[in-house]
Structure 1
Amino acid sequence: MQNDETSAGPRLLGPADVRRLAAELDLRPTKTLGQNFVIDPNTVRRIVRIAGVGPDDVVVEVGPGLGSLTLALLPVVSRVVAVEIDPVLAGRLPSTVSEYAPGVADRLEVVPADALRVSELPGAAPTALVANLPYNVSVPVLLHLLETLPSLSRVLVMVQKEVADRLAAPPGSRTYGVPSVKAAWYATVSPAGPVGRNVFWPAPNVDSGLVLLERRPGGARDPADRAAVFAVVDAAFAQRRKTLRAALSGWAGSPAAAEEALTAAGVDPRARGEQLTVDDFARIAAARPTITTFGAS
């Protein structure tokens, strides 16, 4: 039998609830931890709906804060593993869930940790990541979890709009860069809608956006190749105004060696990094062992 929270929907946190909880904890949101708490129930409902998660999913939530999104997820999924770096918030979250959604409180597991240092999580392998990521570490956290948790098949994150645009940018666009390519290594990436400033407390000085990532079927890419490909990506965009022949000269050993690798990969040495797909970068990385060693030129 379904519990009341599952059938009728959970009690979600509104502005008064968030401010009450913050006052109880004597909490002053900090920019250091990127703390902006969602105060709009419709926003968290929308996030859960777009994420497409269901009763078979084990969801990782990074930065649950006071529990706004957590409360919307718990009635829908099998389990939520909430990773929270702030010990005060991590300690309070189970009590909040027990108060607002007692019928599904047993689905919550809180991991008091820095998401950037997480290498594994307790229990069944997670299938999805759904989170309002702290703005100051959103891309590193996203890429770290995609790497360390290969069981994640679906990701929906809320990030600063500028970051959302970069993650979902196609090759050739002005915002295409390192985050775009590295995210595409793991998944297909698409924008999933804007989020206004007034749904947060305190309201940030920037707009937000949702980004949906769907893992490539079968894991597609060999994890052993990741470091080699990412090294090429980093080199190509470190000097993005230069041609790839020049930008990759340090990576390859010389401009001539870079040109040979690019030619072997079927990439024009005169092209620039923002014109290439992740598959182009993978071919360049694979071509490197075949190149001849040249002296510096």
Structure 2
Amino acid sequence: MSRKRSYPHARETRTASTRKRLSQNFLTDPAVARSIVRDSGVGPDDLVLEVGPGDGMITRHLLPVAGHVLAYEKDRHYVERLRRRYAGEERLRCFHADFRDVREPSEAFAVVANAPFSITTDIVRWCLGARNLTSATLVTQIEFARKHSGDFGRWTKLAVSSWPETTLELGRRIGRGRFHPVPQVDAAVLHLERRDEPLLPRRSMGEYRRLVELGFTGVGGSLPASLRRAYPSGVVGRACARAGIARDEPVGFVDPERWLTLFRVLP
């Protein structure tokens, strides 16, 4: 007897292909979603931008605590679904849009998101470049969160460049089994918090970032070697000694506080 072959339903095929294309890994645990919102610290006076709400697992926990929520979703299916579900909720607006193309609000706002893993770096850069951002609470791949918060004992150029104005801290770990489809790795929360008082004057930030760019060129295999491309050897040696930077120290091992010392002592 021949066995009848089973084919996937067209809707299932479409959903699977769309999730893969849009890097969709939806959070399935309400307790985790609730803890993410709680850890974000948003309150009734806050405007919150949510990136990639999907089926609304985080949205449903944001609405009871936030003032207003603007949700940006690339998948039209979920945009329409959320609009129907919250048709009478004036504090939520859901947009069919790529968050990377969104113009920041003219008022203070926070970001809370289970960010699509494939565009996490773009989302972090968007947040760091938004002048009115107060904080961002982002679910990312765990390696990404650890790398950009210094948890590996190494620091990225992105983290060092933004440190005078914004802290980047590692939050709770989230097991891969809390998502659907299940991703290949665990996730973690990365917290960005805008400093009330920057560690450097705003007028100095361009010069500071040019120094960081120079240091991360990787020339010579160490931070001091890279700096000697623009400064005399003796000046670099004295500045690095003041900052506690070894002569052969790789740039990734230099934490942001030593970068700030280096910037302040270099002529």
- Fold conserved (TM > 0.5)? yes
C-alpha distance in structure 2 between counterparts of 1:260 and 1:119, whole Å: 43
Higher mean displacement: 203-212 or 272-281 = 272-281
Q: Which amino acid aligns with 2:37?
A: V
1:134, 1:198 → 2: CA distance?
A: 16
SS of structure 2 residue aligned to 1:212: strand
Alpha-carbon distance in structure 1 between the residues aligned to 2:56 and 2:234: 52
Q: Which residue of 1 aligns with 2:235?
A: 260
202, 205, 208: which one aligns with 1:229: 208
In structure 2, distance between residues paired with 1:129 and 1:83: 11
Give the direction of change, closer, same or farther, for the CA distance of 1:95–1:262 in structure 2 (3 Å limit). farther
| Residue in structure 2 matched with residue 7 of structure 1 by the alignment | none
Establish whether residue 247 from structure 1 lines up as the match of residue 226 from structure 2: yes
Q: 1:209 to 1:183 in 2, by over 3 A?
A: farther
Which of 94, 108, 111 is matched with 1:110 structurally? 94
Higher helix share: 1
Distance 2:199 2:262 in 1: 18
Does residue 155 of the first structure (1) align with residue 130 of the second (2)? no
CA contact (8 A) 1:262 1:287 kept: no
User: What's the RMSD between the two structures over aligned residues?
Assistant: 3.0
Please, what TM-score do these two structures have when normalized by structure 1? Answer: 0.72
Alpha-carbon spacing, 1:226–1:143, altered in 2? closer, same or farther (3 Å): farther
Deviation readout 1:253-274 (Å, 9 max, x if unpaired): xxx5476356457444714323
TM-score, normalisation: structure 2: 0.79
Structure 1 SS opposite 2:221:
coil
Matched with 1:15 is: none
- Between the two proteins, the alignment pairs up a number of residues equal to 253
Give the 5 Å matches for 1:139-218: 139-148=121-130, 150-169=131-150, 173-218=152-197
What's the CA shift string for 1:189-221, capped at 9, x where partnerless?
322211011221111011000122322123554
1:283–1:119: structure 2 CA closer, same or farther, 3 Å change rule? farther
Partner of 2:255: 277
Alpha-carbon separation, structure 1, partners of 2:210 and 2:20 = 31
- Offset at residue 95 of structure 1 (A): 1.6
Asked if 1:120 is matched to 2:109, the reply is no
5+ residue gaps in structure 2? 1-10
Displacement of 1:86:
3.5
**8 Å Cα contact 2:69-2:92 kept in structure 1:** yes
1:43 aligns with 2:32: yes
1:62 correspondence with 2:51: yes
Quick check: 192-201 or 109-118, which moved more?
109-118
Gaps of 5+ in 1: 1-22, 291-297
Partner in structure 2 of residue 78 of structure 1? 67
